[in-house]
Amino acid sequence: MGLFAIGDLHLPGGQEKPMDIFGDHWEDHFGRISEDWRARVTPEDTVLIPGDISWAMQLAAAKPDLDAIGALPGRKVLIRGNHDYWWSGITQVRCNLPKGMYALQNDALDLGFCVVCGSRGWSFPTPEAPLSPEDDKIYRRELLRVEMSLQQGKRLQGDRPLVLMLHYPPLTDQARDTGFTALAEKYGVTLTVYGHLHGAGIRVAYCGEHHGVRYELTSCDSLGFRLLALDV
């Protein structure tokens, strides 16, 4: 039972949304991802998808994108990204997912060999870049939601690894101690995967171990449109 991750698929949602406007390297990006996926993922494996799944504005428009992902091998575990406007109430989302696809929202899922927790996250403050009052309110709310997810994960965990999925980066190369990393350390998270960063933003990402927690950026362009195999 292998574990993989790839985020920020940015599927079109029934719109004309060619991603190659962000660079030629995005041309046919989902075709290339799908080819790699089919070559490496078995029905017994699990793929984590940490947000920004579809450009759709409504759930009905996102359904073809969800079905396209659902047709690929393995279980899929999703969280919401900042561009997933189609993601309405979690019950409605879950009722519309293909078989073998699971949506996390401030909760956790027992995969058998590990437990996965998930929430969206948010931008975090630094001394050089404090948050606006509005963003600070959202940041504090997201910390509570991430902790809710980790608390549920702890109840399911037993002696298995705890994996955390976030859409927003919980740290950067220059800012490694944040409210999100403190929670990961407090609850004994083994691995945190995140997305959101593209282009020049990839250069500020932190990938590696920090205070006993491993962090991996999994936005699809940062991975060369290939799934990242995870070791837990």
Q: What are the tens digits of pLDDT across the range 56-77?
A: 999 999 999 999 999 999 999 9
Question: CATH number of the domain at 3-230, out of 3.20.20.70, 3.40.1390.40, 3.10.20.30, 3.60.21.10?
Answer: 3.60.21.10
Quote the pLDDT of residue 25. Answer: 78
Which residues, at least 6 apart from 141, have a Cβ–Cβ distance to it below 8 Å?
122
pTM > 0.85:
yes
Q: What is the pLDDT of residues 1-45, one digit of tens each?
A: 899 999 999 998 876 666 654 667 788 899 999 999 999 999 999
Give ∠ CA 130-198-59 in degrees, rounded to 5: 95
Q: What is the pLDDT of residues 98-114, one digit of tens each?
A: 999 999 999 999 999 99
Q: What is the pLDDT of residues 101-149, one digit of tens each?
A: 999 999 999 999 999 999 999 999 998 889 999 999 999 999 999 999 9
With beta carbons less than 8 A apart as the criterion, state whether 174 and 211 touch: no
Looking at the chain, the whole-number percentage of residues with pLDDT higher than 70 is 96
Quote the pLDDT of residue 13. Answer: 83
DSSP string, 30-52: HHHHHHHHHHH--TT-EEEE-S-
